[in-house]
């Protein structure tokens, strides 16, 4: 089968991309000091054939962190490390966005600076939620999250500024775009959802109030990059880490309209099937999102080339992001183009470790594309 539509160029805001095969953000937990290095340069450089690479989720500050070995963007060293990654991708003709991340309550004192409590919209523990910590013996593993403290109203502008400063560092590092991570039950998603946001100030209660903080973050990032270089990721209807929401569809529609007014480049909707089952959007949801958002729509979640081509031809999406297939197939777009078989990823090497299961997956010629 020929996938012609997947390989037509598209305009994402003010960025032109050559195809609609997007690399989804993938946490790989291979930066022990939170500074990207030569391994990350090789990994992302290998995948530069994507229409757009969206980086792994990147912590905007020390208190944004919930998983050890994940990268940051709050220090000069981290900024320089990411510049090396961006340069490697650009050298191969690729484009890359940095995903900006704050985990909120999905954390523990062992991960937080000075052993402080994680922060959240409300002091509600995520039942069943696990973060990733380093133990006293030097080993690392999953650990139940702790009960967060509720952010004081006067603290919220400071976190908005953390996003602004992270975006400024991303711009200096040369990223083509940034993506605001407001999905997967992390901090911004916690503010959006009724089950995790029990605030009584201007950031809680009504749908508009719950959306206020995420939209303030978007506005701050847009100040740095311009709306045409900013995207956002959402996961409507997700129930993860104890997060529940009574108004997911209404919130998604409201955000789409607000983001459209701001001229955002794209809206990235995640349909994760790794949480125990596919999320099913209600009938007409995709069509309603198309009507409400005038930028580009990207969907992600257990797609193959045929399903992606169909969605694009139905005009319910403009591009499709692929996650796990990109782990094991650095040349994924070319494999789709020639209908080549896909390599299956090794689940045991998804998180942590070294080059094994990271930069050693073969290209179609069974060779390896290495940098440096």
Hey, which residues are catalytic here?
Answer: 186
- List residues bridging with 57 in a β-sheet: 99
Q: How far is CA 27 from CA 68, 161, 290, in A?
A: 11, 24, 29
Q: CA 161, CA 217: separation in Å to the nearest integer?
A: 8
Q: CA 200, CA 214: separation in Å to the nearest integer?
A: 17
Q: How is 263-310 classified by DSSP, letter by letter? A: T-SEEEEE---TTSS---PPTTHHHHHHHH--SEEEEESS--HHHHHH
- List residues bridging with 130 in a β-sheet: 144
CB 23 within 8 A of CB 326: yes
Q: How far is CA 211 from CA 58, 202, 205, 246, 352, in A?
A: 22, 10, 10, 14, 34
Coil, strand, or helix at residue 319? Answer: strand
Q: CA 28, CA 357: separation in Å to the nearest integer?
A: 10
φ, ψ of residue 35 to 5 degrees: the values are: -115, 115
User: At a CB cut-off of 8 Å and minimum separation 6, what does 85 contact?
Assistant: 36, 40, 41, 44, 45, 55, 96
């Amino acid at each position: 089968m020929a996938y012609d539509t997947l390989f037509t160029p598209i305009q994402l805001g003010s960025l032109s991309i050559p195809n609609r095969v997007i690399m989804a953000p993938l946490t790989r937990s291979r930066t022990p000091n939170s500074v990207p290095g030569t391994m990350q340069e090789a990994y992302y450089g290998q995948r530069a054939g994507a229409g757009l690479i969206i980086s792994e989720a990147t912590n905007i500050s020390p208190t944004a962190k919930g998983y050890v070995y994940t990268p940051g963007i709050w220090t000069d060293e981290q900024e320089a490390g990411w510049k090396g990654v961006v340069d490697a991708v650009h050298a191969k003709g690729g484009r890359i966005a940095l995903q900006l991340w704050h985990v909120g309550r999905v954390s523990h004192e062992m991960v937080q600076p000075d052993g402080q409590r994680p922060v959240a919209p409300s002091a509600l523990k995520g039942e069943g939620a696990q973060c990733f910590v380093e133990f006293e013996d030097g080993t690392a593993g999953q650990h139940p999250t702790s009960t967060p403290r509720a952010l004081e109203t006067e603290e919220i502008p400071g976190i908005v500024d953390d996003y602004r400063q992270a975006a400024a560092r991303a711009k200096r590092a040369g990223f083509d775009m940034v993506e605001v991570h407001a999905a997967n039950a992390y901090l911004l998603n916690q503010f959006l959802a009724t089950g995790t946001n029990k605030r009584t100030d201007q950031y809680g209660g009504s749908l508009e109030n719950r959306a206020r903080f995420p939209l303030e973050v978007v506005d701050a990032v847009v100040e740095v990059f311009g709306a045409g270089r900013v995207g956002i990721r959402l996961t409507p209807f997700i129930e993860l880490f104890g997060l529940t929401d009574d108004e997911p569809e209404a919130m998604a529609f409201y955000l789409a309209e607000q983001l459209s007014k701001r001229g955002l480049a794209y809206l990235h909707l995640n349909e994760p099937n790794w949480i125990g089952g596919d999320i099913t959007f209600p009938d007409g949801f995709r069509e309603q999102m198309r009507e409400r958002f005038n930028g580009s729509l990207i969907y992600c979640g257990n797609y193959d080339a045929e399903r992606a081509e169909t969605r694009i031809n139905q005009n319910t999406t403009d591009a499709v992001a692929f996650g796990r297939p990109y782990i094991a197939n650095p040349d994924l777009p070319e494999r789709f183009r020639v209908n080549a078989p896909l390599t299956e990823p090794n689940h045991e090497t998804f998180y942590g470790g070294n080059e094994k299961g990271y930069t050693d997956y073969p290209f179609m010629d069974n060779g390896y594309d290495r940098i440096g």
